[in-house]
Amino acid sequence: MRPVSFSANNHIGLLHSGAAFFPALIAAIDAARFEIYLETYIFAADDTAMQVQQALEHAAQRGVKVYVITDWLGTGRQRSLTLNKEFEAAAVMHRAFNPWFRRGVARMHRKMCVLDRQHGFVGGLNIIDDMVSDDDQRQPLPVPRWDFAVSIVGPLVKVIHLELEAQWLRLGEMKLLERIQQCKRSRINLVGASQGVALAGLVLRDNFRNRRTIQRAYLQALGRARQSALLSSPYFAPGRKLRRALEIAAKRGVDVTLLLGVGHYRLQDAVSYSYYPKLLKAGVRIVEYRKTALHAKVAVIDENWATVGSSNFDGLSMLVNQEANVVINDVAFSMALRQQIEIGIADGVEVVANTFANLSWFARVRHGTAFVLYRLLMRIIAIDYRE
């Protein structure tokens, strides 16, 4: 497992939901002069996604080399085929990740973009309208989806570009020797001295070089926490190490708060509920966000550690899928993100410990069964999964 490499002097802006993200992304695409790499799990067919698609096509038509990677499952088979045809007609190069599960069950869940090797975006937002659910139902949401991304200018963009370029090559036709050489090149530390303002690093998860890098980043940050830890995720089913880290931090006096999404999948909710009693007993505060779909995978620990990205707190993100987070060591950024999370907490509903301490036997059996089924599923699709 490689250590996280940090670079200094990055200018990082917090983008809250699509209202901030999509105008910034489209403006950057319109300003691109020679190259664009964009990678997303979902590339929908709604009005917002079509604006991004048209911007990419216009860029290609003015001579910019445009590379787009979408996940075959997340985007959908038919939409992937349509995108392929439309992008090809507009001179945009497109590849789908793992069609028909040819490379196993892993998905490309990352959301990243680099333009002209100078401007980057990383976060949790798919290319889909904020007011529509991101499941197969595509139901209207009461208010915009709660999510975040970051805009990056600085040395870290070079690292993100290298990863996107490597991903594009991996999805093409490469001989074994070429793959080995490409893997060796990707191990080179490209970042500068780890001093200065806006210190940041790209934290990846894959099934080769970075199997537990994102989890390790969380564990280290929680282990060093002294005052507070605010963490948000739409899905909560972490392994024992991460749950234990949350409990230990709370027991030693750290104010640990989880802001969790609920109501998307019943089985997922039941699995999450099975963890609640022990976490609450340890002093972890749990708040459920019910105002709209919570999709943010963010955290702020103490005053200078923050992360924004695509990784959920569940087995798929931690053990199977390809994920990408940015870790930022900067007081100003951490405070800005903390403020947004605290607004989300204020809009949520706090879980009362007595509610789960006095559950009916039927509810306990349901939650326990969900936990067993979930753990079994993770053991099947991730051989090295250890609860």
What's the whole-number mean pLDDT along residues 229-234?
A: 98
What's the whole-number mean pLDDT along residues 148-167?
A: 97
Which two three-digit tokens encode residue 111? 């959301």
Q: What is the pLDDT of residue 365?
A: 81
Strands, sheet with 35-40, edge to edge from the N-terminal-most edge strand: 11-16, 148-153, 119-123, 112-115, 35-40, 65-71, 93-97
109 is catalytic: yes
**Residue 94, pLDDT above cutoff 70:** yes
58 is catalytic: no
Q: What is the pLDDT of residue 382?
A: 67
Which two three-digit tokens encode residue 45? 């067919």
Strands, sheet with 6-7, edge to edge from the N-terminal-most edge strand: 6-7, 199-205, 323-329, 305-309, 297-301, 228-233, 255-261, 285-289, 349-350
Which two three-digit tokens encode residue 231? 């963490």
Q: What is the pLDDT of residue 11?
A: 96
Domain boundaries, the chain: 9-185, 199-381
302 is catalytic: yes
What's the whole-number mean pLDDT along residues 236-257?
A: 96
Among 109, 119, 161, 367, which one carries the catalytic annotation? 109
Q: What is the pLDDT of residue 309?
A: 98
Q: How confident is the model at residue 385 (pLDDT cuts 50, 70, 90)?
A: very low
295 is catalytic: yes
Query: Could you read off the pLDDT of 4-47 as tens digits, one per residue?
Result: 779 999 999 999 999 999 999 999 999 999 999 999 999 999 99
Q: How confident is the model at residue 203 (pLDDT cuts 50, 70, 90)?
A: very high
Q: How confident is the model at residue 371 (pLDDT cuts 50, 70, 90)?
A: confident
Share of the chain above pLDDT 90, in %: 74
> Which three-class secondary structure state does DSSP give residue 78?
helix
**Cβ-based neighbours of 168, under 8 Å, separated by 6 or more:** 37, 67, 69, 95
Q: How far apart are CA 225 and CA 229, in angstroms?
A: 7
| CA 153 centroid distance within chain | 19
175 is catalytic: no
Q: What is the pLDDT of residue 209?
A: 80
Among 46, 255, 302, 347, which one carries the catalytic annotation? 302
- The reply to whether the predicted model has a pTM over 0.85 is yes
**Beta-carbon-side half-sphere exposure of residue 299 (alpha carbons within 13 Å):** 28
Among 16, 46, 116, 281, which one carries the catalytic annotation? 116
11 is catalytic: no
Share of the chain above pLDDT 70, in %: 91
Q: Are 320 and 385 in contact (CB under 8 A)?
A: no
Q: How confident is the model at residue 190 (pLDDT cuts 50, 70, 90)?
A: very low
What's the whole-number mean pLDDT along residues 223-251?
A: 96
CATH 3.30.870.10 fits 199-381, yes or no: yes
**Residue 141, pLDDT above cutoff 80:** yes
Neighbours of 161 (CB within 10 A): 20
Q: Do the domains 9-185 and 199-381 sit in the same CATH topology, yes or no?
A: yes
Specify the CATH number of the domain 9-185: 3.30.870.10
Composition of the chain by helix, strand, coil, percent to 5: 40, 25, 35
Q: Identify the residue whose tokens are 């976490």.
A: 279
Q: Which residue has the higher pLDDT, 375 or 125?
A: 125
Q: What is the pLDDT of residue 42?
A: 98
Among 71, 295, 314, 330, which one carries the catalytic annotation? 295
Among 94, 111, 119, 161, which one carries the catalytic annotation? 111
Query: Could you read off the pLDDT of 283-332 as tens digits, one per residue?
Result: 999 999 999 999 999 999 999 999 999 999 998 898 899 999 999 999 99
Q: How confident is the model at residue 358 (pLDDT cuts 50, 70, 90)?
A: confident
Q: What's the whole-number average pLDDT of the chain? A: 90
Element (H, E) at 112: strand 112-115
What's the whole-number mean pLDDT along residues 150-178?
A: 88
Q: Which stretch of 148-152, 268-272, 349-353, 358-362 has the lowest confidence by average pLDDT?
A: 358-362
Among 94, 119, 161, 297, which one carries the catalytic annotation? 297
